[in-house]
Amino acid sequence: MVSEKGDEPLQEALGSIQPVPSNPHPSFIQVAKPYIFEKTIKDCIAVMGVNPLREEALRLQGVAWIDNIRRILHLPVRTFNTAVVYYHKFRLVHSDSEYNNMDAATAALFTACKIEDTLKKSKEIVCAAYNLKQPPAEHMAPDDPAFESHSRGIIGLERLMLEASGFDFRTRHPQKVLIKLAKLYGLTKDSQVSNLAYRISLDLYRTFAPIKQTSSTMAFSCLELAGRLLDQRLEDVESGKDYEKWRTSRQDVMETLFDLLELYTHHRASTSVGPSFPAERFLTVRIPLNQEAEAQKLPRYTYWKERETETKTNGPKRGKRNGEPIEKPAPLGHPLTPVSANGEKPRFGREGTVRYILDQDRADAEKQRVFEYFRVDVEEYEVEE
C-alpha cells in the first residue's frame, strides 16, 4: 500500500497539466468551380467506386430524359444546357446508389427552370415524365394528388443539387457563340454546316465537355466537326487564327473534338447526329485529327494535374511531438468535398457549417487567417517523464 502522503507529488504533477481546450469548428468552405477538368472527374468517379461503364450509361439516360421532358414542356435550349450541367455536377458528388437517376434528372431540370426564369412547378415536370410513358388516353393532370409525394421528393433534391454546384448560378450557352461564329465565317442560318453544328452542340451535353470547356471552345469544336462530317471544310475555323481573340486554344478544341467523336463512335444511336451518318464516317474524320495531335504532340486532355497527397492529423491539434510532426498520410478524399481552414474534410454526421464562396483567392486568404486561431503547438502540453 502507498500512503496518501506519497501520492501528493503525483497529484500535483497531474494537476499542473491543463487539458487542451476544444476550439470551435472553423466551418467548411466550398468554393464554386465553374470548370471541372477531366482528372478531377475521373478522381470523383474512382473515389465513389462507380463503374465507369455504368456511369456512362446512366449519364446518357439522364441527359436523354432531360431533353425529352424539356421538349414536351416547350422549354428553351438554355434551360436544357443549365439542367444538364447541374445534373453532371450532382452526379460527381453523389454516388448513384444514393438516389434514383430519373429523380436527379428531374431535380436538375426543376432547378434550371428557376435559374433560367422559365418557371415550371415540380408537379408539372413529374407529370410530364409520367405522361411520356403512357398512351394519350391515360394522361394525367399536374394537380393530380398522385404526384404530391414525388413532387416533395424532387424539391428536397433541389437543395442537394445547389450544394453540389456550390450555389454557382453562372451558366454558359455555346449556341449563342456558335451563331456568332457562323455569321463571322460567312455561313447562313439555313446552311447545312450551321444547322448540323447546332445539333452537335446539343449532343455535346451528353459528354462532360460543358463543365470542362468555355463557350467559345465548344462553339469552335461543333463548327469544325460539322464541316468535317459534311466534307465542307472551313479552313478559317480549322486554322485557329481567331483562337486568341476568343480566348481558346487548339489543345482545348482538340480535346472537345475527341470527346464528341468518342461519343459518336461508342453511342451513336443515343445521339441526335449519330444516326445521320454511318459509323465509318466518324472514324474517317478522326484519323487526320489523330495525326495532327501526334504531329503537334497535343495531349488527349489539356489540363491534367495529379492531386497532391493529403494528410490527416492525429486529433484536432497540429504541431510536433518529440521533434516529429504528428501527421500521417491518408487516402485521397473526394476532390469536390468542402475543406475547413485547418484542412479537415467532412465525414458522415458532419459537424460545422458549410460556407459557399465564388472567389478562390478570397477563400484561400480566409483559410490562412482562420488557421492562425486553430493552430495549437503540442509541445506546450508535453510533460517530461
Q: From CA 236, how far away is CA 185, in angstroms rounded?
A: 7
Provide the 8-state DSSP code for 145. Answer: G
Per-residue pLDDT of the chain (385 residues; tens, 9 = 90+): 444 555 565 555 545 555 555 556 667 778 888 899 999 999 999 988 888 899 999 999 999 999 999 999 999 999 999 999 999 999 999 888 888 999 999 999 999 999 999 989 999 999 999 998 888 888 899 888 888 888 899 998 999 899 888 888 888 999 999 999 999 999 988 899 999 999 999 999 999 999 999 999 999 999 999 999 999 999 999 998 999 999 999 999 999 999 999 999 999 999 999 999 999 999 999 999 999 999 999 999 988 877 665 444 433 344 444 444 444 444 457 788 776 666 666 654 455 677 788 888 888 887 787 777 766 544 444 444 4
Give CA 141 to chain center in angstroms. 34
Helix or strand run (H / E) with residue 324: strand 324-325
pLDDT score recorded for residue 326: 41
Residue 241: phi, psi to the nearest 5? -70, -20
Check for a shared fold between 35-165 and 174-296. yes
For domain 174-296, say whether CATH 1.10.287 is its number.
Answer: no
Could you please state the CATH topology (level 3) that the domain comprising 35-165 is classified under. Answer: Cyclin A; domain 1 (1.10.472)
Locate the domains of the chain by residue range.
Answer: 35-165, 174-296
Q: How many helices (H) and strands (E) does the chain have?
A: 14, 7
Q: What global pTM score does this model have?
A: 0.82
Q: From CA 292, how far away is CA 274, in angstroms rounded?
A: 24
